A and B are shown apart, each in its own frame.
Chain A
């Protein structure tokens, strides 16, 4: 082990600083008794150690390491030890390529992340620690995220993560803005991508200026995509079969735009102030088959693959976050306070059509959900642990002639404590919903009663989390952690109050106001190993969870009173068991690198032995990459096998397995990087078990090849 010269050592609480000498030695003294030191050295992970005063300490610093690729940069910016960094790139691609994650296919503009088979409100999507709410109104309302406009992202597996909030039973995804480091730099990152298949185009630019006085960042991205290409000529809906001429899903085109403005300024003696404003807007067509009963002519492709017509959805959002962080003088701690406000709106526009015998509406706005949220967090972190609190409030207003969920409000307050090993969080949730009813018509169009869709109700739900984390080290190259947690989750307002048809999932979903909080007991492990001088890297993680009163959608014994909707799916609580594991292996030999990424998941109802819906099937991808060290190019390819999905819920058909091939070529140019990627090279028709379109028997997107160029300019 080589000595590290020039390491910067800070003693707490006096904050006296010294540097290590050429032999790695240092001596630090304080006028007051001190309890810990922090050691900073370029290229190594910052180490905080508890030390006895006048004691002797030998420190081994862990080299700071990350996978650095000219295009894909991984960095972990999450406070959770179990967090796994995600690479940059197309959000759906990243999710589908990461063991344990999947994307629920809602079209190219909206993405519903699936973490270990769970989604919706069970998956927290956090931007700079602030939860994005808009993806919690059902499976077909995805998150508005463009990873190109973040500095880092990570996924956090498992329940009981105290800072992710009580709803995130599956875990969450964290997206972090660029931090201010004090470095003087001015850079512009930009890129574009063109994709065959759905004729997608994307461009983005992100400008960053940083110096000792602060950081400023502004950027935006824009994308357009055409009708989705599918290797399929017909599909079925409600027992009817339709042909798909030209192998494309008509009216699935759209466009999206995202923007970011960020500023961060340090103030001597009062900490650092950070402002982040993000906006997103997605307008995307909805396949006509999912609204009403389509006629054959409705599915005939028009001339322009990028045209969007009714039915369509339009999602917009605005998020403003203010964060104040402070390292108080003379105290060995870190404090931060975050306040955030967000506005989310989802519009669904469809050809006006009557439900049952009611009159035909006059407006194309079938559904409008507007949500205002506020979030605040306080965190006080010291060498021995941290304490914090969160308050999250939302108000949702629903409009349109397609009732989905009643107007509702929700307030959550949480506080937590952690010493790094044991963590506890206490939650209180108060939620309320309004009543909603519509006239009930007979066949002659006469009002004969009232169709009650929701009743006014208020819920008070206490809850909490207790978790135990045990990091361990084996030998010199293996680290890991065992975690056990017990947690509760209050039902979402959607699970309590939904009562309507989803045009994105083709289902009539009904809430249950009598649902009680879920209770979860979960055990997890993860293991990282580097052997043979880093030639072989192994990451394995797994979990087993027992859920009491686990809330999920199940088919009921009744049909929707609407021609174009089938069976009613109702939220109900069952006891369930879930277990799964993910593994990533990378073996480097010379210029070649072999990888294996695999995941397995099982989810069952305990009483019946049936599976839970959308249980991701066993899958593995074997990849090979060749990157000659003296060359500027690399080539890679992979084979992904997906096993048949045999763990299925009631009435859920098993999904056959498949094999998919992909390839990649990358070349570094003078100013940037060229990347050519091919997906589903054999244009295989396969059913994605995590896709909403699977209910129609529609296969996943066919072959596409993308070409992208990305450059970074240092001004």
Chain B
């Protein structure tokens, strides 16, 4: 009986002790007046080649821990906050460019600034993702903003019609039938003049199954209408669009199609 009493006392003491309070409040982004380059904006605009500074203020009730800035291309995924973004058709270039930075924060309020030097090789939409954690380990919901990067340096492709559809109306990847012919209408432009351009269809092993050079004349704009021969092999294919301007600046962009 004595043993049971001791055991009961232990359990009671344990339950009493487990009522302790801890900081469970997640930190926040508390920028009062967001500038043009704050992650609290849904969208931001920038030009390739320029440097921009993202600035935000971070707050926590007890003590901040760390902020992580992740800048990555928006292709191929969506974030929970912008579920419709993946339906937007954008021809990205320089998608491998990304930035990751960790910065320790102290106190209950701290400002951090991320300077991005946007390369001349990028065009399209990038996600600026901010992850925030406080000193106790409480993580905030990630905040994601879109950074639209325009580029006047690279040749630019514009597709107005693909397989009879305006690609901006696509939801997800288009699906093409094996062995079919798909019509591609658009134009490629560059202020220095388009020296060469080519459209090709590449499989997952990066083997080109079909390609068609465009008849470039050196003009600022080159309109085209092509019939893409869809191969007999189903799978994930990539339409690669390449161009080079008169000053030797080359550009490559692509979009994915499902062939079945």
> A and B: partners?
yes
Tell which of B7, B18, B86 touches A577, judged by Cβ atoms closer than 8 Å: B18
Q: How far is the CA of A242 from the CA of B98 in the complex (A)?
A: 20
Instruction: State the Cβ distance, A246 to closest chain B Cβ, in Å.
Output: 12
**Is B258 interfacial (CB 8 A cutoff)?**
yes
Closest to A555 in B: B137
Beta-carbon contact of B19 and A609 below 8 Å: yes
CB distance from B42 to the nearest CB of A (A): 15
A610 in the interface, Cβ–Cβ < 8 Å? yes
Which has the most chain B C-beta neighbours within 10 Å: A239, A544, A562?
A239
- Say whether B80 faces chain A, with CB atoms less than 8 Å apart: yes
A557–B98 CB distance below 8 A? no
CA distance A74 to B173 in the complex (A): 53
Q: How far is the CA of A241 from the CA of B134 in the complex (A)?
A: 25
CA distance A241 to B141 in the complex (A): 14
Check A297–B236 contact: CB distance below 8 A: yes
- Minimum C-beta distance from B41 to chain A (A): 17
Residues of A within 8 A of B (CB): 236, 238-243, 293-297, 300, 302-303, 356, 484, 521, 523, 544, 546, 554-559, 561-563, 566-567, 577, 579, 604-610, 650-651
Closest A residue to B258 by beta carbon equals: A300
**Which residues of A lie under 8 Å from residue B20 when comparing CB positions?**
606-609
Is B14 interfacial (CB 8 A cutoff)? yes
Given A484, A557, A567, A604, which contacts B135 in the complex, CB threshold below 8 Å? A557
Which residue of chain A lies nearest to B127 when distances are taken between CB atoms in the complex?
A240
Known: A559-B133, A608-B22. A546 touches B78 (CB 8 A): no
> Is A606 within 8 A of B77, CB to CB?
no
A521: B residues at CB distance < 8 A: 10
B2 at interface by CB-CB < 8 Å: no
CA–CA, A529 and B145, complex, Å: 63
- Other-chain contact of B72, A293, A302, A484, A577 (Cβ < 8 Å): A293
Q: Which partner residue on chain B sits nearest A562 by CB separation?
A: B100
Residues of chain B within 8 A (CB-CB) of A240 are 77-80
Q: Are B24 and A650 in contact (CB under 8 A)?
A: yes
Chain A neighbourhood of B19, CB < 8 A: 609
In the bound complex, residues from chain B placing their C-beta under 8 Å from that of A544 are 7, 11, 14
CB distance A241 to B83 under 8 Å? Answer: yes
Within 8 Å by CB of A558, from B22, B66, B256, lies B66
Cα distance A143–B138 in the bound complex, in angstroms: 32
- Chain A residues contacting B129 (CB-CB under 8 Å) are 239
A297 touches B256 (CB 8 A): yes
How far apart are the CA atoms of A134 and B252 in the complex, in Å?
Answer: 47
State the CA gap A562–B256 with chains docked (Å): 27
Bound-state CA distance A559–B64 (Å) is: 13
Report whether A563 and B72 are in contact in the complex, using a CB–CB cutoff of 8 Å: yes
Distance in angstroms between the alpha carbons of A555 and B235 in the assembled complex: 40
Q: Are A484 and B3 in contact (CB under 8 A)?
A: yes
Contacts of B65 in A (CB 8 A): 556-558
Q: Scoring B residues 167 to 186 as 1 if CB is less than 8 Å from chain A, else 0, what string do you get?
A: 00000110000000000000
14 more CB-based (< 8 A) A-B contacts, given A240-B78, A558-B102, A651-B137: A240-B79, A241-B77, A241-B78, A295-B75, A296-B77, A296-B172, A555-B133, A555-B138, A557-B66, A557-B137, A559-B133, A608-B22, A610-B24, A651-B138
**What are 15 A-B interface contacts by the 8 Å CB criterion?**
A239-B79, A239-B144, A241-B80, A295-B77, A544-B11, A544-B14, A555-B138, A555-B139, A556-B133, A557-B133, A558-B66, A559-B131, A567-B131, A650-B24, A651-B138
CB within 8 Å for A300 and B18 given contacts A240-B79, A650-B136, A651-B138: no
Q: Are A300 and B236 in contact (CB under 8 A)?
A: yes
Bound together, the chains give a CA A241 to CA B144 distance in angstroms of 12
Closest 4 CB pairs of A and B: A557-B65, A295-B76, A608-B22, A555-B137
Is the Cβ of A236 less than 8 Å from the Cβ of B80? yes
Tell me, rounded to whole Å, the shortest Cβ–Cβ distance linking A88 to chain B: 37
> B76 near A296 (CB under 8 angstroms)?
yes
SS class of chain B's interface: helix, strand, loop or mixed?
Answer: mixed
Q: A300-B236, A356-B100, A650-B24 are in contact. Are A523 and B7 (CB under 8 A)?
A: yes
Which residues of B sit under 8 angstroms from A236, Cβ to Cβ? 80
Residue of B nearest to A545 (CB): B14
Q: How far is the CA of A558 from the CA of B104 in the complex (A)?
A: 8
Q: Are B86 and A556 in contact (CB under 8 A)?
A: no
- A559-B66, A559-B68, A650-B138 given as contacts; is B78 within 8 A of A609 (CB)? no
**In the assembled complex, B43 has its CB within 8 A of some CB on chain A:** no
Interchain CA distance A53-B227 in the complex, whole Å? 104
Whole-angstrom CA separation of A563 from B142 in the bound complex: 14
Binary per-residue interface labels of chain B (1-22) against chain A in the complex, 1 for a CB within 8 Å, 0 otherwise: 0010001001100110111111
B residues less than 8 Å from A561 (CB atoms) = 100, 102
A129 CA to B15 CA, complexed, in Å: 37
Supposing A294-B77, A295-B75 touch, asked if A554 and B18 sit within 8 A by C-beta, the answer is no
CA distance A558 to B134 in the complex (A): 8
Give chain A residues whose Cβ lies under 8 Å from the Cβ of B80.
Answer: 236, 239-241
Known contacts: A606-B20, A650-B24. The answer to whether A559 contacts B98 by CB under 8 A is no
Q: Are B10 and A546 in contact (CB under 8 A)?
A: yes
| Bound CA–CA A293/B75 (angstroms) | 11
How far apart are A259's CB and chain B's nearest CB, in angstroms?
Answer: 36
Q: In the assembly, what is the distance between CA of A133 and CA of B29, in Å?
A: 45
How far apart are A353's CB and chain B's nearest CB, in angstroms?
A: 12
Residue in A closest to B236 when the chains form the complex, CB atoms: A297
- Tell me the minimal C-beta distance from A440 to chain B in angstroms: 13
With a CB–CB cut-off of 8 A, which chain A residues contact B81? 239
Decide yes or no: A563 and B133 within 8 Å by CB, A241-B83, A296-B172 being known contacts: no
A567 to B136, CA, bound (A): 12
CB < 8 Å: which of A239, A243, A293, A546 contacts B142?
Answer: A239
A559-B102 contact in complex given A240-B77, A607-B20, A650-B24, C-beta closer than 8 Å = yes
Q: Determine if B107 is an interface residue (Cβ-Cβ < 8 Å).
A: no
Contacts of A558 in B (CB 8 A): 65-66, 102, 104, 133
> Closest A-chain residue to B86, C-beta based?
A296
Give the distance in Å from the alpha carbon of A544 to the alpha carbon of B173 in the complex.
55
Known: A297-B76, A563-B70, A609-B21. Is A238-B142 also a contact (CB below 8 A)? yes
Q: Which residue on A lies nearest to B104, using beta carbons?
A: A558
Judge whether B213 is part of the interface by a CB distance below 8 angstroms. no
Is B34 in contact with chain A by the CB < 8 A criterion?
Answer: no
B234 at the interface (CB under 8 A from A): yes
Docked complex Cα distance between A8 and B143 (Å): 77
Q: A609 contacts B18, CB within 8 Å?
A: yes
Q: Roughly how many angstroms separate A558 CA and B106 CA in the complex, as a whole number?
A: 12
In the complex, per-residue mask of B114-150: 1 if CB is within 8 Å of any chain A CB, else 0 = 0000000000000001010111111101101000000
Q: Which residues from chain B contact A546 at a C-beta distance below 8 Å? A: 10, 14
Give the CA-CA distance A297 to B70 in the complex, in Å. 22
Distance between Cα atoms of A243 and B76 in the complex (Å): 10
A243: chain B residues within 8 A (beta carbon): 172
Select from chain A the residue with minimum beta-carbon distance to B22.
A608
Least CB distance, B144 to chain A, in whole angstroms: 7
A441 to B102, CA, bound (A): 15
Nearest A residue to B132 by beta-carbon distance?
A559
Give the docked Cα–Cα distance between A559 and B67 (Å): 8
- In the complex with contacts A300-B258, A521-B10, A651-B139, A566-B77 CB distance below 8 A: no
Smallest distance from the beta carbon of A35 to chain B beta carbons, Å?
30
Q: Which residues of B contact A559 (CB under 8 A)?
A: 66, 68, 102, 131, 133
Instruction: Tell me, in angstroms, the Cα distance from A241 to B20 when the chains sit together.
Output: 36
Q: B residues 28-58 with Cβ under 8 Å of A?
A: none
Q: Which residues from B are CB-within-8-Å of A523?
A: 7
Residues of B within 8 A of A557 (CB): 65-66, 133-137
Chain B residue numbers with a CB within 8 Å of A577 are 14-15, 17-18
Minimum CB–CB distance for A298 against chain B, Å? 8
B87-113 contact mask (Cβ, 8 Å, vs A): 1 or 0: 000000000001010101000000000
- List, in ascending order, chain B residues with CB within 8 A of A302's CB: 235
Query: Quick check: B3 and A563 within 8 Å, CB to CB?
Result: no
- C-alpha gap A546/B3 in the complex (Å): 16
B98 and A563 form a contact (CB under 8 A): yes
Residues in chain B near residue A239, CB distance under 8 A: 79-81, 129, 131, 141-142, 144
**B70 contacts across to A, CB distance below 8 A:** 563
